[in-house]
Chain A
Amino acid sequence: MTELHFTDVQRDCLQELVNVAMGQASDKLARYLGTFVHLQVPAIALVEAALLSQHFASRYQQQSATLVSLGFFGDQGLRGETIMLYQLANVGVIAQLLGYSDDAVSEAEMLTDISSVLTTTFLSGLAEQLENSFSYAAPRILSSRDQYFADKLAYTAEQWQLALQVDIRYQLTDYSFNCDMILLIPGEAVLRLRQTLDNILADF
């Protein structure tokens, strides 16, 4: 099996790129939403995809977690899937900011819209940092309003080798909105990602 570990230097480099991308995302979101958006420095962790569902099952225990998936493709074989995980109870806050309160929009559409705005804003910044660009597949809801989200997460994660777990905490002026983002990346894309990180490091 291919060795997928990152060296400390590679990991720090990735953390830095994620930080920059997150900073850009919060700036864009703040301007778009017309409110101050603070994104904490996200903690990233590389975990085996197989262990993901256990981790999140305990974290979202007894809560109705919503899972929305969005696939992305970049150049040089960099591709993957992002999963946004959040509590349904949190949706109202961000939906209000996005202007959903005034007309009748299905909950499903609201969930996919929120997820795609939050993930693509971050991902397009990350792609830029990686000197790449991503195209995206339409978001789809994996799980909502049911208690089987851990099973569904396990099933989705099974198809990937490595998961980059990015804990994001969005804080808006008067609200706080917590969610988790998981980047699932297949083995060969991990190798590409490492190569890109090495190239960036070599430039310094």
Chain B
Amino acid sequence: MQLDWLLQPLLTQLNTGVLVLDAQYRVVFFNQFIARRADVDLAKVQGNLLEDVFADLPLAWLRRKLDSVLHLQVPAFSSWEQRQYIIKLAHLRPLSSDSQYMAQNCSMLPLTAPDGVSRYICLLIEDATDAYVYQQQLQQSVIQLEHANRTDGLTGVYNRRYWQQQLGYEIQRAGRYQHPLSLLLFDLDKFKDLNDQYGHQGGDFVLVELSRLIGSLLRDTDLFGRYGGEEFGIILPETGMTGALQVANRICDTVARHKMLYNQQTLKATISIGVACYFAQSVDELIQRADTALYCAKRQGRNRAVAYQPELEGYLKKVK
């Protein structure tokens, strides 16, 4: 059976771009797949140099690939993951893809004419836009998941698990490089009263509002997390006791002066802060010290910051 008639309709309807170049990289042939997507007419450009037919080609890169195909007579490949596209071609996913051009997998194959002498190169171009789009979506989802996995759902600060993990890393770093590190633990004063008076939604509103306010007072390198309920922690890298107390007092004052509007009512809240400095303790010990200082701040009348000192342990025992 004579099958030659098959070639033309197959090349025309093939869902793969076929582009043939001669040894001088002049365009010999391309199929309809390429003609329609690049909006070029083969009859008008046949015999022209590749770079004169298709704009903005990565020429140096492409020549190196084509040279190897021609001289070694072996195929070369290009993946969309490494080079998203070679020829600027339109694709059929203009809405779902953030790229204007078709992502392409390309095989470059050596061809020899029936005369046994003339060398050609065939470029097979496959549309990988779907794979590209899925990968973009996947990456986006991974970023969102990573964010959700370390964030407290209500306040948007770090959740306890992530925050405490970071405290571990910061302690290691401070220990290794002999850098200062401080920890603030704070608690909303009389939060139960707030909840009783304004309902839990009112209480939540205050937590969100104060988290935002306190977050705005911190440096980018400080790590702000929700420890639980109305208790929060702030890790201050590269900060000794003097600096940490300054930060703590500024936070205390700013919160006390801050007026919040909830259901046409003006709300005010205060916080108490315990401050502890890293001095070769474990994560748990450091948190314990900040907690002791926080307890003392409450005992001393709230709305204040107290620095941890070993004497506070005795004070703690007395009041217990």
Interface positions of A (Cβ within 8 A of B): 28-29, 31-32, 98-100, 102-103, 105-106, 108-109, 112-113, 116-117, 120-121, 124, 136, 138-140
Contacts and interface: CB of A to CB of B under 8 A. Distances in A.
A28 B69 CA distance: 11
A98 B127 CA distance: 28
17 contacts: A28-B71, A32-B68, A32-B72, A103-B60, A103-B61, A106-B82, A108-B81, A109-B79, A109-B82, A112-B77, A116-B75, A116-B76, A117-B68, A117-B74, A117-B76, A120-B74, A121-B72
Contact of A121 (B64, B67, B74, B81): B74
Given A31-B71, A116-B76, A108 B64 contact: no
Nearest to A136: B75
B63 to A, nearest CB: 9
Contacts, number: 53
Contacts of B79: 109, 112, 138, 140
A113 B82 CA distance: 11
A189 B83 CA distance: 34
**B-side interface size class:** 20 to 34
B83 A124 contact: no
Given A99-B64, A100-B64, A121-B74, 19 more contacts: A28-B71, A28-B72, A32-B71, A98-B64, A98-B68, A105-B61, A106-B82, A109-B78, A109-B79, A112-B77, A113-B68, A113-B76, A116-B74, A116-B75, A117-B74, A124-B73, A124-B74, A138-B77, A139-B77
B107 interface: yes
Contacts of B73: 28, 124
Interface of A is mostly: helix
Interface of B: 60-61, 64-65, 67-68, 71-79, 81-83, 105, 107
B77 to A, nearest CB: 4
Contacts of A117: 68, 72, 74, 76
A120 B82 contact: no
Contacts of A116: 74-77
